[in-house]
Structure 1
Amino acid sequence: MPYKTYSEYLKSKYSEKVYKLPVNLPTTCPNRDGQLGISGCSFCPEVGAGFETISNSISVKEQLQNNMSFIKKKYKAKKFIAYFQNFSNTYMDTELFAKYMEQAAIDNIVEVCVSTRPDCITTEHLNILKEIGEKHQLEISIELGLQTVNYHSLHKVDRGHTLAEFIDAVLQIKAFNFQICAHLILNLPWDNMDDVVENAKILSALRVDQVKLHALYIMKDTKLGEIYEKGQVKLISMEEYKERVITFLEYLYPNIIVQRLIGRAPEENGLFVNWNMSWWKIRDLIHEEMISLNRYQGKKATYLGGKALNKFNSRKNSEYIE
């Protein structure tokens, strides 16, 4: 593969294929409950990102057991990751957070993955995850929804945070040695190729461990959906998205794990979803072009570690050294 895939990473780490089991908590986000805003991000529907999750009316343990039973039968799987996916899963009282995390520590779970916002990370929550991990011998990973390093675009989509909060969250999590995955949308209407490259550079400079890429999808009954229907926002073509993904990977450091190149979204109530193409078809087109043109992850990742001083390390410039 021309980039480091998540599936191979998991196989290497756990010696066999591992499956993520989504968990849906009865929580919200500060961009919905009035703390930062009331409408959420302009692209986010009422259900958030958890359109494939089980109802949060049942316990964490039951959700995991139900999902696990299905995946075990279908794929003969033995190891699983409890994936707290929807909304901001650290946006709650620490005692309640600890209770939910403890419920995830059941047989065959090898890792707890918590998805949240960059402005919802505290030492208290991280300490709870550390205690759960040590007590039950579980790996801990945290997914942060960044979307873009362009703070102007973050304002446009009403994220309620800037790049600074993401950097702060990464530094806090790094102190606990948890794996960090950043989410990025590579086709935001206000971003260009310079932003795509800068996305890769910032994640590489911060030593983020993993990245999830996805294309912007536009749903009905969202603020972005309203301006899209009025023709006030224009999206790039699938061909340009493909080029953005490949360019991003070329600038991304080669040791960073790529969880995905494009996401999935519910087609019902969708105004724009992946150019009306299946996600795997777009993924395969990206693979094919990278291989045929010898483009690969890290090919252009030469910008860190004092790039401007490289000339002094060259034999051709030995006259500068006495």
Structure 2
Amino acid sequence: MASNRPAPAAPFVPSQRGTEAFGYGSYSTDEGPWEEWNPTEDSTRPVRGRHRVAKQRGGGLARSSTVLGVGVMAAVGAGGMASAHAGKPPVSISMPDLPVSHLPAVGSLLEDEPSAPQGSATALSSVGMTGTDNAEDAGDAGEALRNRIMAQAEQQQGQAESKAAAAAVAAADKQVADAAAQAEQAAASKAAAAKEQAEAQAKKAAEAARLAELAKQYALPTSSYTLTSLFGQAGSMWSSGYHTGLDFAAPTGTLIKAIHSGTITQAGWAGSYGYRTVLTLDDGTELWFCHQSSINVSVGQKVSTGDVIGRVGATGNVTGPHLHLEVHPDGQPIGIDPMAWLRGKGVNP
């Protein structure tokens, strides 16, 4: 710290002393003479470092008063304070010549804290705060930071939990939708299968009804028979190389009946077929009854289902008594399977 510039010395004339000297109510001849004292660099101990505020302790008020007094004296010594009123002649200030050791230096007032090194900086936020206060502030800042971090963590956790809950809800909804779709599809498939089955049953019932109705119109050509040769069987016994009809083996003289109503178009000998009767139905289908032992109808005669048209025999190319039946749609020379045709009419040989 630079020393204070010495104040200009005022001539000491006791007779000119005023009655308003600093620090005194009136002049007294008992006082003085005193020597003037101006603080210099040699008389004051420099204070190193920046001023620091002492910790607030029990004697803080007394120390503050002491510092204030020292400051006042320093100002008085630096400025001179010539007079208390403007316009009056300057008045010198006399201070007792006390040893420097009796004056408390500013640095000694802060002896509880080590002097800060030259050029050191103290944060403005720490001025007037004790170590405990700084620790508490640091603790509060740490606690605030911790609370903020915890709040952010809780917020992030809440967001994650919300997202997880939303995902779980979406997954559950999807599962419910999939289950509903599967159930709907299964129900639709089941309904379609049931409908198809019902339609099949209805169709079967309708066909049965139709066959039952046809069965009233169609009948087997004979009774007490045995099927010995089927349509299409190959063999040298037949001139075509295969069997062209259906054989009903029965005793000679067994009655032969009309399968359906129609008109007799042929009745007589037919070579290898023996005695043959041809019954033409209304749709043009020809039914051939062959190997008869006798014929009971004539050409042009109308017959109905179940009418007797002849008897079983063994005429023509045969090995035993039987009825050889052939079916020729529209009078075609090549016949079809009589078994399938009869079943299509509701008659099962």
TM-score greater than 0.5 by the shorter chain:
no
Question: Structure 1 or 2: larger helix share?
Answer: 1
TM-score by length of 2: 0.18
Normalising by structure 1, we get a TM-score of 0.19
